Structure 1
Amino acid sequence: MATTDRQASTLALAHALSAAERGLAVIPLSRTKLPALRSPHRDEPAPRTGRSTPCHGECGRFGHGVHDASTDPARIRSLFASAPGATGYGIACGLPPHHLIGVDLDTKTGTDSSAALRELALRHLFTIPATVTVLTPSGGRHLWLSGPPDVVVPNSASRLAPGIDIRGAGGYLVGPGSRTDHGTYTTAPGTARLSPAACPPTLLRLLLPPPRAHHPTPPSTGGHGQGLVQFVLAAHEGQRNTRLFWAACRAYEDGIGPALVDPLTDAARTTGLSEREARATIASAARMTGHHP
């Protein structure tokens, strides 16, 4: 490996360890911004019948992308030792303690994504907080926001507006100090020592999946209330908390939150959540919308 590559790898490890000290789980990245470790299962035959999900690291080997992410210095050093070509690092989103949400304001689309975000803020009456901001080699920006622990924010591309991508659970952000084929990621002046700011509640709701268009009419809490209950009942594994949080926020915004606490809790339990988890998520939605649970 060339001396410059070794230096880049050493610097990437140092930056990754520094990020881990702040509670950010990291993985090594290559110059292409992809995970630097190849999957240990790449040469294996197709999964046997009955195995419904791929390995996410249960095998104990490295090479599972964001599922390898860690804050443990010893594990991070082992990851980078296994990836000598790494010149950067990725920061996993959605994990405690920050439950990071990345707002990626891209410039490649030819649109002004920063202006689009400001327009969204004006239209929906939220303020974009001062937070960690990472400048990309292409001229874009990554805003780091912190989400609540009981809400799963999905990844999305240009769903909010053209050029605005969201990095949520299962995604990662390229960390500042990383070197890529197009340049180096840096922290914007004055933001390096900030902690990720809390995601504005209104923006958080915009980041969650919309409800289905049609819902049955309820006998007790009205069509809208029963529709929210049905929205929760339709949740699959991996989206139960997200749907429950969204439905509870809508219920409180529409003045029927208290009446729907028990129906939403029962619906969430039907999908597999415990009563404690369900009530905690509904209480979080109440606080997010300015109500007392």
Structure 2
Amino acid sequence: MNSTVRYALAAAARGWHVFPLAIGDKRPMRGFTAWEQQATADPEAIRRIWARQPFNIGIACGPSRLVVIDLDVPKDGQRPPAPFDVPGVNDGADAFALVCAQAGQPFPFETFQVRTRKGGLHLYFTAPKGTSLGNTAGRLGWLIDTRASGGYVVGPGSLVNLPDGTGTYEPIHTGAVAPLPAWLVERLRPAPLPPQKPVTVPLAATDRRSAYLRAAITAELERVTGSPPDGHNDALYQASVALGQLVAGGALSESEVTAWLTAAAAQVGQQPGETRRTIASGLRAGARRPRSIAA
């Protein structure tokens, strides 16, 4: 049994849903583009997957009911902006300690922790019940990101070898995962969404083909805007695959489809970066099965 499968099984024993990342990489293995849906906590499935290769480990935060705070280290020459440009703040962990101190809260040491390949820190927390949290980049402060519903982290036991650095993800505190502190829940809670407006699809319904396309596009956009809070990314991926088939068949342009899906995702509060990745992944998957519309 290779070492990564042991780490994957240990993660599953905690109830976390895992999926394979490419060897030496942070990206999902080919064939796992719908990683949030394909992630599993089934030990037998994990043994089958990792028996093939010592894949790195991705942990899907949404299905695992996790919120992971990612405290990064700066790139060469990167300096903290105000208000983090103070003595003692040199990386994301320092910045987070300052955020905690300013909030009158202790640094939440007592939870599962992983040292990342470049010396950063992942703090694992259980997601709050009744509140759907997504991914954030810098909302809490300099070099502080979070991964929750719609996001994943590279799990402990993984070895990443990329041009920007090589290293392992090492667990350094393996105790129980603490609940996300209430004050952080409030800071990470999504802002209220603006009133929904229909996404305009400028296709003239003057013939059967145009009418069919309009109905197909509208249905996929409504799949996204009508999705539940914990299903936005899944709905966006499925809609991207369906419309990607029509793009590949020559019925629609990729730029138009991307714009419509991006607008729909924005209405439900999807983060721009995650939106771009999900749409691109879905369009690629759809392109493998082109669908044309008869005139």
With normalisation by structure 1, the TM-score equals: 0.57
Q: How does 1:204-223 map to 2 (within 5 A)?
A: 204-211=185-192
Kindly report which structure 2 residues correspond to 1:234-249, keeping only aligned pairs within 5 A, or say none: 237-239=227-229
Instruction: Quote the Cα distance in structure 1 between the aligned partners of 2:193 and 2:41.
Output: 38
User: CA–CA distance in 2 between the matches of 1:68 and 1:200?
Assistant: 29
Structure 2 residue identity aligned to 1:21: A
Q: 2:72 aligns with which of 91, 106, 112?
A: 106
The alpha carbon displacement at 1:128 in A equals 2.8
| Residues 95-244 of structure 1: pairs in structure 2 closer than 5 A | 95-96=63-64, 99-109=65-75, 110=78, 111=80, 112-129=91-108, 130-181=110-161, 182-188=166-172, 191-192=173-174, 194-211=175-192, 237-239=227-229
Q: Report what 2:60 is aligned to.
A: 92
- Deviation for aligned residue 1:24: 1.3
- What is the identity, as a one-letter code, of the residue corresponding to 1:187? P
- Tell me how far apart the structure 1 counterparts of residues 54 and 41 of structure 2 sit (CA, whole Å): 20
Match of 1:12 in 2: 4
Matched, 1:33 2:26: yes
Shift of the alpha carbon at 1:89? 0.5
Distance 1:11 1:115 in 2: 32
C-alpha distance in 1, partners of 2:38/2:227?
Answer: 22
Shift of 1:154: 0.5
Deviating 4+ runs (over 6 angstroms) = none
Q: Distance in 1 between matches of 2:151 and 2:193?
A: 25
Q: Aligned partners of 2:47 and 2:189: how far apart in 1?
A: 35
Residues 27 and 138 (structure 1 numbering): CA distance in 2 closer, same or farther, change over 3 Å? same
* 8 A contact 1:128–1:200 mirrored in 2: no
Q: CA RMSD in A?
A: 2.8
Structure 2: 5+ residue stretches without partners: 81-90, 196-224, 232-267, 269-295
Q: What displacement does 1:236 show?
A: 6.1
* Secondary structure in 1 matching 2:187: helix
Q: Return 162-171 or 122-131, whichever deviates more.
A: 122-131
Contact 2:3 2:54 in 1 (8 A): no
Q: SS in structure 1 opposite 2:3?
A: helix
Q: Kindly indicate whether the alpha-carbon contact (under 8 Å) linking 1:126 and 1:203 is maintained by their aligned counterparts in 2.
A: no
Tell me how far 1:29 sits from its aligned partner: 1.4
How far is the alpha carbon of 1:159 from its aligned partner?
2.1
Would the alpha carbon gap of residues 199 and 12 (structure 1) be closer, same or farther in structure 2, given more than 3 Å must change?
Answer: same
**Percent of matched pairs sharing the same residue:** 34
Instruction: Check 1:240–1:137 CA distance in 2 against 1; reply closer, same or farther (3 A cut).
Output: closer
1: CA distance, partners of 2:107 / 2:18: 26
DSSP 3-state at the match of 2:7: helix
Q: CA shift at 1:33, angstroms?
A: 1.1
What secondary structure is seen at the aligned counterpart in 1 of 2:62?
coil
Who is 1:72 aligned against? 42
Q: Is the contact between residue 58 and residue 152 of structure 2 (CA under 8 Å) also seen in structure 1?
A: yes
Change (3 A) 1:240 1:139: closer
Structure 2 residue identity aligned to 1:201:
A
Query: Does the CA contact (< 8 Å) of 2:68 and 2:125 recur in 1?
Result: yes
Q: CA offsets per residue over residues 1-41 of structure 1, 9 Å max, x none?
A: xxxxxx8xx211111012111211111112111112x23xx
- Separation in structure 2 between the aligned mates of residue 64 and residue 236 of structure 1, nearest angstrom: 20
Contact 2:62–2:148 (Cα < 8 Å) also in 1? yes
Number of equivalent positions:
185
How far residue 124 of structure 1 moved from its aligned partner, in angstroms, is: 2.4
Cα deviations by residue, 1:249-280 (Å, 9 ceiling, x for unpaired): xxxxxxxxxxxxxxxxxxxxxx9xxxxxxxxx
Q: Is 1:22–2:22 an aligned residue pair? A: no
CA distance in 2, matches of 1:91, 1:149: 19
Assess, with a 3 A threshold, how the Cα gap between structure 1 residues 114 and 28 changes in structure 2: closer, same or farther. same
The letter for the 2-side match of 1:70 is T
Unaligned runs of 5+ in 1: 1-6, 40-61, 215-234, 242-270, 272-293
